[in-house]
Amino acid sequence: MMRNLALFGAMFAALALVGFTQSWSVSLAILNLCLISAIMALGVNIQWGYAGLFNVGIMGFTALGGLAAVLVSQPPVIEAWKAGGAGIGLSLLALLGTVAAAVFVRRRVAGRWRNLAVLLTVVVGYFLIRSVFDPATDVIEATDPAKSGYLGGMGLPIIFSWIVGGLFAGAAAWLIGKIALGLRADYLAIATLGISEIVIAIIKNEDWLARGVKNVSGLSRPVPLEINLQQSEWFLSLANTLGADPITFSSIYVRLSYALLFAVVLLAILWLSERALKSPWGRMMRAIRDNRDAAEAMGKDVTRRHLQVFVLGSAVVGIAGAMLTTLDGQFTPGTYNPLRYTFLIWVMVIVGGSGNNWGSVLGGFLIWFVWVEAEPAGRWLMETLSGGLSDGPLKAHLLDAGPHMRLVVMGLILLLVLRFSPRGLIPEKTGR
Amino acid sequence: MTDILNALVLFANFVFVPGLAYGAQLALGALGVTLIFGILRFSNFAHGDTMAFGTMVTILVTWWFQSMGISFGPLPTALLALPFGILATIGIVLIFDKSVYKFYRTQKSPPIIFVMASVGVMFVMNGIVRFIIGPDDQRFADGERFIIRARDFEDWTGLSEGLALRTSQGLTIVIAVIVVAALFWFLQKSRTGKAMRAYSDNEDLALLSGINPDRIVMVTWILAAALATIAGVLYGLDKSFKPFTYFQLLLPIFAAAIVGGIGNPVGAIAGGFVIAFSEVTITYAYKKFLTYLVPESWAPEGLVQLLSTDYKFAVSFVILVLVLLIRPTGIFRGKVI
């Protein structure tokens, strides 16, 4: 216990050090992403630590959360709805109809014609959907393409998107889990990797949904804008009493508000996960993880439990994804990269200690901190190393390449922890 | 009649030949994955970055050769540099095996731990490649660009559609045939190859009959590294080299290996072509092709493209899922642990 407190204490001391040496604004920015990373790591820990499911599609669930942020908070584009809303609705109906017809055919047709009949139904349905869908998306994308060109969202406060993001990710996870969970462990990994790439491809290319690579920026915020703060009476007097410069203080104030919101979500999820882990349900999950066959023989429905935990973990990641987009204030599908959004989260879980929620939180904080600080450190290292070199292409290249060192650092951290301390910084508690 | 010929030539030019070359590249990549799976029994997530590493070394040596004025006549200089790339990749892969995987092998860790370790190796390799050559696109093809030019073909046949065969495509196919033939000869006829197959089929029996596991593992890594480098260089010559693209190739390569039956070399080749041709045929716009075939008044208005090219990953993934659902062992019976 003392050790864990010391570890968390050291983490906050490191953040404070950044505050003193660089600036408090930077330190709080890192803290905000640390909090979000911790939530993502918790989601992955629910899947890997509780149940031993290897999900490398985290990027996809994060992006679904981000999509939710756009669809919830942006105002609806009325002209686009008028022009193409009916078409989109109709193609959705056609999609449902096709799925229903395929299921019907699969149930009714027997023998060797079954697969062919299902395939035929799907192909006919596909062309039917495309015939309604293509014209509808064309008109939607043509309405004021420079500013909107998409259907817009629901115009609700963005904070609701955190719940919707969780729902989106959970629904997607249910679909994937239905298909892939019966399979071997590394097949699940490959399947989730594929799904996440497809989710990104869809978000990038379906401009009618969230403008694709044209990005949606200027999302509404759950906290006040800096510029409004600087003009409000109470804020200026508050800054005055604290003796702070209003402009720097406004940015610190905004980031602190975000940090508070995120911390509330993190603590809520952490509390729930801890409760779940200590409940009979948690013991059952660990029993399934440690000896699947024995748990099955005891009458536990392993596939269903796996599906359940897969959906829960993915939903947590989806919540974090929506929070991330909220913090950024924009949705940029082009920036989703599996190294940053999938594998980095895995490093957090492994380093923190798989199976232990506190470990995942610490891992999220620590690895995000290292990831951010490795960039200036890499540059500094390169500048020191190449200090003796004369100016030339080699020196320029080395200076350019410095930031890529952090990938090597992350890989080495993962390999070293896996090799020498596979239980992580805060190991799972076993036995009672 | 000429319309039908034109349509066929058009199809060959934009679907068949590119699909054949891409399929050969995927097949070579999938062979490496499948060998690792058959012997070491895990899915190697670092394979894409192994390809990138080998290609990077080859590119650097190519540039060095070019700066010294060495060239390979009409063929790309990269072919001369390829052996150096292979050697370097074998070196780094063996270092990683000694420093990372060997420990887990002696511990008899579950496959998932190997997969995680390979994720760590992937990070390190990705970092090294980006550090040395940068994250940007690199083109390194030189020499004659075409074996058959579209214009020459048109003049020669009198058709209005041309069939072009790029040197990189021709080379890919020829080299893939040679490499696959050599690999199968090795696996079927040589003593080490037989030992490898025995080890893959039944590890305990193989150990009992005196097969040295360390040697088997080493040969497997050497073969996988060589295959990865060749696949990577051919892909780079055909398209271009970008570290991130190579990482993304992991998905179609895994799909090819699993669709064909993981652990089965014949399956890897079949899977490579299945994935490649599905991707190309489904994302090709058939408008012009159909215009040749149907009467003028029926000519399609849209592009007649089943899926936009941005969804080619979706194609390989859907095929992967279908195979996993209908026939989890793959086309040719592979292993299911």
Q: Which residue of A has its CA nearest to B310?
A: A201
- A190–B258: do the CB atoms touch at under 8 Å? yes
Nearest to A44 by CA among A27, A61, A28: A61
DSSP state at residue A326: H
Cα angle value B256/B316/A178 (rounded, 5°)? 105
User: If 0-12 CB within 10 Å is exposed, 13-18 middle and 19+ buried, where does residue B22 land?
Assistant: buried
Alpha-carbon gap: B313 to the closest alpha carbon of chain A (Å): 7
Q: In this structure, what are the phi and psi dihedrals at residue B63, rounded to the nearest 5 degrees? A: -60, -40
Contact map slice: B 170-209 vs A, CB within 8 A: none
State pLDDT tens for residues B157-198. 888 888 888 999 999 999 999 999 999 999 999 999 999 999
Provide, as residue numbers in chain B, all residues whose Cβ is less than 8 Å from the Cβ of A185: 110-112, 115
Q: Are B161 and B12 in contact (CB under 8 A)?
A: no
Q: Which residue of A has its CA nearest to B314?
A: A198
DSSP state at residue A54: -
User: Which fold does the domain A2-76+152-420 belong to in CATH?
Assistant: ABC transporter involved in vitamin B12 uptake, BtuC (1.10.3470)
Alpha-carbon gap: A156 to the closest alpha carbon of chain B (Å): 32
- A407–B123: do the CB atoms touch at under 8 Å? yes
Q: Which of A175, A188, A400, A407 to mutate against chain B (most B CBs within 10 Å)?
A: A407
Contact map slice: B 314-333 vs A, CB within 8 A: 314, 316-317, 320-321, 324-326, 328
Q: Are B86 and B230 in contact (CB under 8 A)?
A: yes
A346 touches chain B (CB under 8 A): yes
Provide, as residue numbers in chain B, all residues whose Cβ is less than 8 Å from the Cβ of A405: 127, 131
State pLDDT tens for residues B246-287. 998 998 999 999 898 888 889 999 999 999 999 999 888 888
- Residue B307 CA to residue A127 CA, distance in Å, equals 11
Q: Which residue of B has its CA nearest to A198?
A: B314
Alpha-carbon gap: B283 to the closest alpha carbon of chain A (Å): 14
Contact map slice: B 104-123 vs A, CB within 8 A: 110-113, 115-117, 119-123
Structure confidence at residue A367 (pLDDT): 94
B126 touches chain A (CB under 8 A): yes
Cβ-based neighbour number of residue A164 at 10 Å: 23
A408 touches chain B (CB under 8 A): yes
- B130–A401: do the CB atoms touch at under 8 Å? yes
A383 touches chain B (CB under 8 A): no
Provide, as residue numbers in chain B, all residues whose Cβ is less than 8 Å from the Cβ of A190: 43, 251, 254-255, 258, 320
Q: Are A399 and A385 in contact (CB under 8 A)?
A: no
Cα angle value A53/A55/A57 (rounded, 5°)? 165
Q: Which residue of B has its CA nearest to A178?
A: B325
- Residue A392 CA to residue A371 CA, distance in Å, equals 29
Provide, as residue numbers in chain B, all residues whose Cβ is less than 8 Å from the Cβ of A406: 127
Alpha-carbon gap: A24 to the closest alpha carbon of chain B (Å): 30
A195 touches chain B (CB under 8 A): yes
Q: Which of A415, A416, A419, A423 to mutate against chain B (most B CBs within 10 Å)?
A: A415
Q: How many CB pairs under 8 A join A and B?
A: 132
- Residue A132 CA to residue B79 CA, distance in Å, equals 50
Alpha-carbon gap: A256 to the closest alpha carbon of chain B (Å): 33
Q: Are A320 and A61 in contact (CB under 8 A)?
A: no
Structure confidence at residue B337 (pLDDT): 44
- A346–B116: do the CB atoms touch at under 8 Å? yes
Question: Which residues, other chains included, contact A130 with Cβ-Cβ below 8 Å and sequence gap of 6+?
Answer: none
- B313–A418: do the CB atoms touch at under 8 Å? no
pLDDT < 70 regions, chain B: 334-337
Question: Which residues, other chains included, contact B222 with Cβ-Cβ below 8 Å and sequence gap of 6+?
Answer: B90, B93, B94
- A407–B310: do the CB atoms touch at under 8 Å? no
Q: Are A415 and A346 in contact (CB under 8 A)?
A: no
Cβ-based neighbour number of residue B271 at 10 Å: 36
Structure confidence at residue A379 (pLDDT): 80
Cβ-based neighbour number of residue B63 at 10 Å: 15
Structure confidence at residue B335 (pLDDT): 64
Alpha-carbon gap: A115 to the closest alpha carbon of chain B (Å): 10
- Candidates A115, A338, A418; nearest CB to B120: A418
- Residue B185 CA to residue B73 CA, distance in Å, equals 30
- Residue A41 CA to residue A44 CA, distance in Å, equals 5
A227 touches chain B (CB under 8 A): no
DSSP state at residue A76: B
- B121–A415: do the CB atoms touch at under 8 Å? yes
- A201–B337: do the CB atoms touch at under 8 Å? no
Helices A185-205 & B111-133 angle (0-180, nearest 10): 40
- Residue B90 CA to residue B83 CA, distance in Å, equals 10
A412 touches chain B (CB under 8 A): yes
Q: Which residue of B has its CA nearest to A343?
A: B119
pLDDT < 70 regions, chain A: 431-432
Contact map slice: A 100-129 vs B, CB within 8 A: 115
- A186–B117: do the CB atoms touch at under 8 Å? no
Q: Is the ipTM of this complex over 0.85?
A: yes
